[in-house]
């Protein structure tokens, strides 16, 4: 049987959105009247077409049932303890306590560097602090668990006193358990929960929120000619399978975030397709997170206008993603990115 996918599109923002929602000419995304849409793209493996929300009733019975189900998830308000998705985007600030991360390796892993940077990130607007002790840049090698824990232990111990939402970036269940004992709030495993067979058991036992992240291959192999039949739909199907799998394992809570993994087993074309069509993943019913900050696709697109921090590309792609309702942005340059969002928001409200 043909499988249909539903992507919300043709978004409105700010005052224009409020007006259209009030007049019932658009549907609010996640019950947020500040961003809404009036068109759906109906996608299959061999076709795509757009329909206005007022024309849904003209579709056949099977498709109307599918659209209704997906719309319920798209409109669903995202409830997540300590995180308010009505005022999006939420910023996840990055603290790499490693000597070799692709952008800031060695910058914060000495003395109080990580703790001081955490305070700065929070001051400038980060609601989530993501701490990691293992680089997963393309070509990176695995770090032994005791070395990884040694890198992050002291900083975790200190920043829990800041009473902020803490995310632990690790693939290893042993690290997860130790981090949970240090009161972390979220597990961010770039392997898609596939690296360590004990991870699901830890998540079930502790009931902790987590990210389902997509990657093709491993950090060592992921950029060696990645291939997909259809990158957008293949990743959607991955998320759907993974959600069903964790439900079957007994994890019933909805405190789950989806991250399609820009740059993790994707070439430039794959990344562009994902960013352009990121709103498809709203129909899975969970918040979407994107890590666009300083990524290589910015270099590929900008050519001789590339820069060390790739701030322009980070901001422009971030604004594009925000206009498709992406709720969480994982960022390095929090002050500048937050500045751009504040200006953009102000210009869209009278």
Residue ending a domain, among 46, 77, 108, is 77
User: Are 40 and 59 in a shared domain?
Assistant: yes
Task: Provide the percentage of residues in the chain whose pLDDT is more than 70.
Answer: 97
Q: What's the rounded mean pLDDT across residues 255-277?
A: 97
DSSP state of 345: H
Q: Is residue 66 annotated as a catalytic residue, yes or no?
A: no
Q: What's the rounded mean pLDDT across residues 46-53?
A: 97
- Active-site residue identified among 330, 342, 345, 350: 330
Domains in the chain: how many in total? 2
Residue ending a domain, among 50, 77, 104, is 77
User: Are 97 and 19 in a shared domain?
Assistant: no
Q: What are phi and psi of 280, to 5 degrees?
A: -55, -35
Contacts of 63 (CB under 8 A, 6+ apart): 4, 42
223 and 139 Cβ atoms separated by less than 8 Å: yes
Question: Taking 70 as the threshold, does the pLDDT of residue 15 lie above it?
Answer: yes
User: Are 38 and 128 in a shared domain?
Assistant: no
Full residue range of the structural domain in which residue 54 is found: 5-77
Structure tokens at 139: 């070509």
Closest alpha carbon to 6 in 46, 36, 49, 35: 49
- Tell me what pLDDT residue 110 has: 63
**Tens digits of residue pLDDT in 283-303:** 999 999 999 999 999 999 999
User: Are 18 and 117 in a shared domain?
Assistant: no
- Tell me what pLDDT residue 107 has: 55
Please tell me the pTM assigned to this model.
0.94
Q: Is residue 137 annotated as a catalytic residue, yes or no?
A: no
Question: Taking 70 as the threshold, does the pLDDT of residue 103 lie above it?
Answer: no
User: Are 63 and 86 in a shared domain?
Assistant: no
Structure tokens at 38: 């009036």
User: Are 265 and 306 in a shared domain?
Assistant: yes
**Tens digits of residue pLDDT in 307-331:** 999 999 999 999 999 999 999 999 9
| CA–CA gap between residue 239 and residue 194 (Å, rounded) | 13
Confidence of residue 128 (pLDDT cuts 50, 70, 90): very high
User: Are 72 and 190 in a shared domain?
Assistant: no
Residue-averaged pLDDT of the chain: 94
- Tell me what pLDDT residue 109 has: 59
315 alpha-carbon distance from chain centroid: 16
- Active-site residue identified among 171, 295, 296, 310: 295
Q: What's the rounded mean pLDDT across residues 122-141?
A: 93
User: Are 108 and 21 in a shared domain?
Assistant: no
User: Are 233 and 309 in a shared domain?
Assistant: yes
**Lowest mean per-residue pLDDT among 76-85, 161-170, 265-274:** 76-85
Q: Which residues pair with 84 in a beta bridge?
A: 79
CATH number at residue 245: 3.20.20.20
User: Are 43 and 87 in a shared domain?
Assistant: no
Structure tokens at 230: 């259809």
Residue ending a domain, among 77, 92, 124, is 77
Residue with structure tokens 């809570």?
253
User: Are 150 and 119 in a shared domain?
Assistant: yes
User: Are 169 and 36 in a shared domain?
Assistant: no
Question: Taking 60 as the threshold, does the pLDDT of residue 106 lie above it?
Answer: no
Contacts of 70 (CB under 8 A, 6+ apart): 6, 283
92 and 328 Cβ atoms separated by less than 8 Å: yes
- Tell me what pLDDT residue 141 has: 86
Confidence of residue 225 (pLDDT cuts 50, 70, 90): very high
């Amino acid at each position: 049987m043909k499988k249909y996918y539903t992507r919300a599109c043709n978004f409105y923002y700010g005052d224009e959105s409020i007006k259209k929602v009030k007049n019932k000419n658009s549907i609010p995304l996640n019950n947020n009247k500040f961003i809404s849409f009036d068109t759906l793209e109906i996608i299959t493996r061999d076709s795509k077409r757009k329909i206005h929300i007022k024309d849904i009733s003209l579709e056949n019975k099977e498709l109307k049932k599918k659209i209704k189900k997906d719309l319920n998830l798209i409109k669903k308000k995202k409830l997540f303890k300590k995180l308010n998705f009505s005022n999006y985007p939420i910023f996840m600030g990055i603290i790499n306590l490693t000597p070799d991360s692709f952008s800031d390796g060695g910058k914060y892993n000495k003395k109080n560097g990580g703790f001081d940077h955490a305070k700065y990130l929070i001051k400038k607007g980060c609601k989530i602090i993501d701490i990691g002790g293992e680089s997963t840049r393309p070509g990176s090698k695995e770090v032994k668990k005791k070395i990884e824990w040694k890198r992050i232990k002291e900083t975790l111990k200190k920043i829990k006193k800041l009473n902020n939402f803490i995310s632990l970036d690790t693939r290893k269940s042993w690290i997860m358990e130790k981090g949970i004992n240090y009161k972390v709030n979220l597990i961010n495993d770039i392997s898609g929960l596939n690296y360590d067979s004990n991870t699901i058991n830890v998540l079930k036992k502790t009931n902790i929120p987590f990210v389902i992240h997509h990657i093709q291959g491993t950090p060592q192999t992921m950029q060696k000619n990645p291939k997909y039949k259809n990158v957008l739909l293949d990743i959607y199907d991955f998320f759907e399978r993974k959600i069903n799998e964790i439900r079957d394992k007994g994890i019933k809570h909805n405190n789950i975030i989806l991250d399609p993994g820009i740059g993790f087993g994707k070439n430039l074309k794959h990344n562009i397709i994902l960013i352009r069509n990121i709103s498809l993943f709203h129909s899975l019913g969970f918040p979407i997170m994107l890590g666009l900050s300083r990524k290589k696709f910015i270099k590929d697109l900008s050519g001789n206008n590339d820069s060390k921090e790739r701030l322009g590309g980070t901001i422009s792609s971030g604004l594009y993603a925000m206009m498709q309702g992406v709720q969480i942005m994982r960022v390095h340059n929090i002050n500048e990115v937050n500045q751009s969002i504040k200006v953009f928001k102000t210009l869209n409200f009278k």
